[in-house]
Amino acid sequence: MNGKHILVLASLLGASGVAMGAYQAHGLEKMLSQRGVDPVDAQRRIENCEVAVRYQMYHAIALIGIGVGVERLHRRLLAATVSFLTLGVCAFSGGLYEIVFRGQATHFAIVPLGGLMLIVGWIFLGIAALAKKD
């Protein structure tokens, strides 16, 4: 995995995170109201969307740093780092987006599993940094 691919991935996560954040701020409440979602549930979904966007953006920024510093990290551990962070964002933020738009997740454990993958990705990043010979 090279820096260019990681930066492209980061840009896609960042762009889609900004788009979701904009929709959350300017259209989500109206859409939920039009669908007849209870106001208390709608507020919970809006808050879930905020969390999903925040975590997606944090990890897009982290991937930018990884992409720029790719030569300073152990290659195989770097691949594991990027994979876990990317899959973690997809599961964690994607699971929350699913709750926001559908009212439920496909599987109850998708969001916690995504969180676990994010944690593992961060641990791999630390190991990748320590494993690289200077």
Average pLDDT over residues 109-119: 97
For 74: left if phi > 0, alpha if psi spans -120 to 50, otherwise beta; the answer is beta
8 Å CB contact between 90 and 114 = yes
Considering the chain, what is the average pLDDT of its residues?
95
* Amino acid sitting at position 20: M
What contacts 80, CB < 8 A, 6 or more positions away? 121, 124, 128
Q: What 8-state DSSP symbol labels residue 103? A: S
pLDDT for the residue numbered 13: 98
Tokens 């551990």, located at residue:
77
Each residue's pLDDT tens digit, 33-85:
999 999 999 999 999 999 999 999 999 999 999 999 988 888 899 999 999 99
Q: pLDDT: is 132 or 75 the higher one?
A: 75
pLDDT for the residue numbered 81: 96
d(CA 104, CA 96): 9
Domain boundaries, the chain: 3-131
d(CA 122, CA 70): 15
